Amino acid sequence: MKTYKIALLPGDGVGPEVINSALTVLKKIEEKFGIKFEFKEALVGAVAIEKTGSALPEETIKTALEADAILFGAVGDPKFDKDPSAKVRPEQGILGLRKLLNLYANIRPIKTYECLYHKSPLKKEVVEGVDFVVVRELTGGIYFGEPRGRSEDGNKAFDSMVYSREEIRRAAKVAFELALKRRKKLTLVDKANVLATSRLWREEIKEFSKNYPEVEVDYLYVDNAAMQIIKRPAEFDVILTTNMFGDILTDEASVITGSLGMLPSASIGERDGKKRGLFEPIHGSYPKAAGKNVANPTGQILSAAYMLRFLGEDKAAQAVEKAVDKVLGKGVFTRDIDSQNYVSCSRFGEEVAREI
């Protein structure tokens, strides 16, 4: 029987709850598709800091390196937001994993569901048929560039935005390959009117796009892109952008769908000659809802579907996605979508499993 080693990193807040719902679904997949998962759970984020002093303990690093894929919940705890001088922060858990596993491309699909059009803050005509993907460069740019920190006298702080051609090309490859399988449109989002790194991106993408003559490429400044994503989201197909711009634009884009809880993400790359993948919902740890069994596990469940596809289990991935569509189509919603008539987080997972 095909066996996959899966590192389970639930993290903070609602992370463990949504991971549990995804597990209910994956157990059903084992039954139906004759594959097996060896799950190994590890600590990350604020819970890891509490138990070990580090947001990414050695044991977790080991588990992540040994796994075929990582299913990740969420990290973050408001405790740490109040103290800007804190040396250890929950976010170091996810940032450290991205760097450790060299997960250089982050894929975030933004798709609206007909049954949720009414939940979107945008008009129905605008959100109808929205289906695009943001490919965010994930291990470079201002998130990791050196030098960074404080001046000696402590009166200045700096972060460096650095990109190499190689970093741009490998993220671009993921985006162009994706575009080929989709509507063959790619938009590079940058700030080439101001930033040197953005000009390198444009130069490199112009050159790189010659390998993909079928793909139509256009270029948008990030400020304009922020506006267009709200004005005409249905026109985008694949958006390729840098680490920081991608972080901001995907939060913006996520509200189009009506609930942040719906959206999955895949972070992919390679290390030691092995393909690496980490799969997480794009929502955060939502501390206010933690322990109440009310979070929406859809983003986590769809992230598990992405993971299945990454492992080569396309049919299983499709089965999960179809089941989610069906359950939503039947009007089975969590509280974020219908505050009157809703099912719990765990129940939603059971409904999806049953549909499979």
- Our answer to whether residue 223 is catalytic in this structure is yes
186 — phi, psi (to 5°)? -130, 130
Q: What is the DSSP letter of 296?
A: -
157-160/105-111 β-pairing: unpaired
Judge whether 276 and 170 are in contact, CB under 8 Å. Answer: no
Query: Which residue is it, tokens 């063959």?
Result: 184
CA atoms of 344 and 50, how far apart (whole Å): 28
Q: Which is nearer to Mg ion, 187 or 265 (CB)?
A: 265
Query: What DSSP element (H or E) covers 320?
Result: helix 314-329
Residue 77 binding target from Mg ion, ligand IPM, none, CB below 5 to 8 Å by type: none
Give DSSP secondary structure letters for 269-288. Answer: EEETTEEEEEE--SS---GG
Stretch that binds Mg ion, among 93-101, 225-233, 239-247, 339-347 (CB under 5 A): 239-247
Write down the catalytic residue from 4, 104, 143, 306.
143
Does residue number 280 form part of the binding site for Mg ion (CB under 5 A)?
no
Give DSSP secondary structure letters for 238-253. Answer: EEEE-HHHHHHHHHHH
The correct pick among 68, 77, 247, 280 for binding Mg ion (CB under 5 A) is 247
**Which x/- pattern over 45-84 shows residues binding ligand IPM (rule: CB under 6 A)?**
----------------------------------------
Does residue number 247 form part of the binding site for ligand IPM (CB under 6 A)?
yes
Residue 91 binding target from ligand IPM, Mg ion, none, CB below 5 to 8 Å by type: ligand IPM
161 — phi, psi (to 5°)? -100, 110
Write down the catalytic residue from 223, 231, 292, 315.
223
Give DSSP secondary structure letters for 144-158. Answer: TEEEEEE-TTSS-EE
Closest CA to 172 of 199, 204, 145, 203: 204
- Our answer to whether residue 143 is catalytic in this structure is yes
Using CB atoms, what's the residue nearest to Mg ion? 247
Q: Which is nearer to ligand IPM, 98 or 170 (CB)?
A: 98
Residue 101 binding target from Mg ion, ligand IPM, none, CB below 5 to 8 Å by type: none
CA atoms of 258 and 115, how far apart (whole Å): 10
Q: Which is nearer to Mg ion, 217 or 302 (CB)?
A: 302
The correct pick among 41, 59, 91, 350 for binding ligand IPM (CB under 6 A) is 91
Nearest approach in angstroms of CB 250 to Mg ion is 6
Q: Which is nearer to ligand IPM, 45 or 349 (CB)?
A: 45
CA atoms of 262 and 112, how far apart (whole Å): 9
Stretch that binds ligand IPM, among 26-34, 91-99, 119-127, 320-328 (CB under 6 A): 91-99
Nearest approach in angstroms of CB 118 to ligand IPM is 26
Residue 17 binding target from Mg ion, ligand IPM, none, CB below 5 to 8 Å by type: none
Length of the chain: 356
CA atoms of 215 and 182, how far apart (whole Å): 10
Closest CA to 332 of 179, 113, 164: 113
Q: For binding to Mg ion (CB under 5 A), which residues are involved?
A: 247
Q: Which residues are catalytic?
A: 143, 191, 223, 247, 251
Binding residues (CB under 6 A) for ligand IPM: these are 91, 94-95, 247
